[in-house]
Amino acid sequence: MTEDILISVRGLHTLDIEQEEEETDELEMTMPGKYYFRNGKHYVLFEETDEESQSVVKNRFKLSEDRLEISKKGAMNTTMTFQRGEKSSSWYGTPVGDVQLGIEVTDMQLMESDDEIEMNVAYALEMNSEHVSDSRIRLRIMERNKGLFRI
């Protein structure tokens, strides 16, 4: 895989509302980024712009067979760890305050080919020690110049 890539990040959250109803919240974004592979791990670097403040958030995703680490720096600040078979805790800093997150991975799959990497993670999400959603994240990384990227 070359250094210049496109990354698609798709998040799906099924929210618990009064334990009788469910609401689904979905977000997908695609942007250019940089890729490199070191010490058996895939690294993806990209920037996004916070819609409200128009400030830049620098992202670093570190992927391996049983772990995904997402670091954000800027208007949002966090390091979230998705580890197969473990529950993790982290702080998610926003311009309006910090939230404590709990992440418990229920399924994780990493698929690799010469010109594409895909990672799917299913997890339970807690905010301030309360379960708020069953969630999924899908990352798709593809060489930027291949012209094969599809959403």
- Per-residue pLDDT in tens (0 to 9) along the chain, 151 residues: 789 999 999 998 887 655 555 667 778 899 999 999 999 999 999 999 877 778 899 999 999 999 999 999 998 899 999 999 899 999 998 888 899 999 999 999 999 998 899 999 999 999 989 998 999 999 999 998 875 555 4
Confidence at residue 22, expressed as pLDDT on a 0 to 100 scale:
60
Residues 133, 13 contacting (CB under 8 angstroms): yes
Give the β-pairing of 4-17 and 116-127: unpaired
Q: What type of residue sits at position 108?
A: M
The reported pLDDT for the residue numbered 21 is 56
Element (H, E) at 6: strand 4-17
The partner residues of 53 in beta bridges, in order of sequence, read none
Tell me the whole-structure pTM to 2 decimals: 0.86
- Which residue in the block uniquely carries the two structure tokens 């998040």? 11
Tokens 């208007």 belong to which residue? 75
CA distance 149 to 6: 8
d(CA 70, CA 63): 9
Q: Which amino acid is at 93?
A: G
- For position 151, what pLDDT does the model report? 45
Query: DSSP strand E in 18-147: where?
Result: 21-38, 41-49, 56-64, 67-74, 78-83, 87-94, 97-112, 116-127, 130-143
